[in-house]
Amino acid sequence: MPELPEVETVARTLAPHVTGSVITGALLMRPSTLHPLSLPPEKLCGHIIGSVGRRGKLLLLHLEKKGSFALPESNVILAVHLRMTGRLSVLPADALPEKHTRCIFQLSHGGTERKLFFDDIRAFGQIFAAVPENMARWDFWRTLGPEPLEVEKLDFCRRLRKRGTSLKAALLDQKLVAGIGNIYADELLFMAGISPLRRASALDVEECGRVWRAMRAILRKAIAQCGSSIRDYRDANGHAGAFQNSFAVYGRGQKACVRCGNSLEKIRLAGRSTVYCPVCQK
């Protein structure tokens, strides 16, 4: 379940291992891992990994190919969606694929050969590569909302109040803002003191502001703690995050509210398990 803080942590921990490396080979173990509109992985050979970034829950490798006498320069964006159980790691050149390995890139840097592994138990993860001007062919990319840590309060409030859905469903929709998943939606709504069941369009300006502030506070705190590790999530060095120790509501159904002591409610909302405090969140 990597969400924004986890993907940010993966990007930061992966960058020092791969930046400056040349992709010298690519092996796709499971065809469905590659988006049908993506460039095939072998087309990425010869590209240098210039930088590692993130957009919403997408990990981005910015690839560059220097122009030669006959060929122009070409940049490519390689986007990886880890979904629930995707994991990236850089391993020695002799590492072999395992049961859940979906894609392997061979890397070369200053005479050192290594491999970038994309493993994914549940096989929901996806890879999409394209030149920047073709990224918009990918609907998910084109419709992605603004970054939650960059969106202005007024813009966020305007977008949120257009939604006729529950607040929880609105926050999970990547078109509203990009990067929030089930964990951080529940946590930020608890901090904001607003019920996940409320119609987004029924929030007043002050309440929208509380959601906006809580969203920023929770995401920043989670990034500072390198994300949350419930089961599978690890950063690019195999390390777990620590924010799971700070959960106020996620995974705490029927337990006592940390603020008022009453029992937390666990319901199903927007197709997801949802935990909230009926007393503190109105």
Partner DNA sequence: TCCTCCCTGTTC
Partner DNA sequence: GAACAGGGAGGA
Please give the residue ranges that form the binding site for DNA (CB under 7 A). 1, 3, 32, 56-57, 81, 83-84, 99-100, 121-124, 139-140, 163-166, 169, 172, 174, 181-183, 231, 250, 270-273
DSSP string, 152-164: -HHHHHHHHTT--
H or E stretch including 149?
none
Largest interatomic CA distance in the chain = 71
The DSSP output letter for 146 is: -
Task: Write b or e for each residue in 213-230: b if 16 or more Cβ atoms lie within 10 A of its Cβ, otherwise e.
Answer: ebbbebbeebbebbbbbe
- Determine the angle formed by the axes of helices 153-160 and 205-224, rounding to 10 degrees: 110
> In a 3-state reduction of DSSP, which class is residue 62?
strand
CB nearer DNA, residue 7 or residue 226: 7
What is the closest distance, in whole angstroms, from the C-beta atom of residue 120 to DNA in the complex? 9
End-to-end CA distance of the chain: 27
Return d(Cα 266, Cα 165) in angstroms, integer: 19
Question: Alpha helices, DSSP H only, in 98-143?
Answer: 139-142
CB nearer DNA, residue 1 or residue 63: 1
> In a 3-state reduction of DSSP, which class is residue 184?
helix
CB nearer DNA, residue 119 or residue 207: 119
Residues with Cβ within 8 Å of residue 152, at least 6 apart in sequence: none
CB nearer DNA, residue 40 or residue 164: 164
Given its phi and psi angles, is residue 251 left (phi above 0), alpha (psi -120 to 50 degrees) or beta? Answer: left
Catalytic residue IDs? 2-3, 57, 272
Q: Which two tokens stand for residue 148?
A: 């939650």
Given its phi and psi angles, is residue 246 left (phi above 0), alpha (psi -120 to 50 degrees) or beta? Answer: alpha
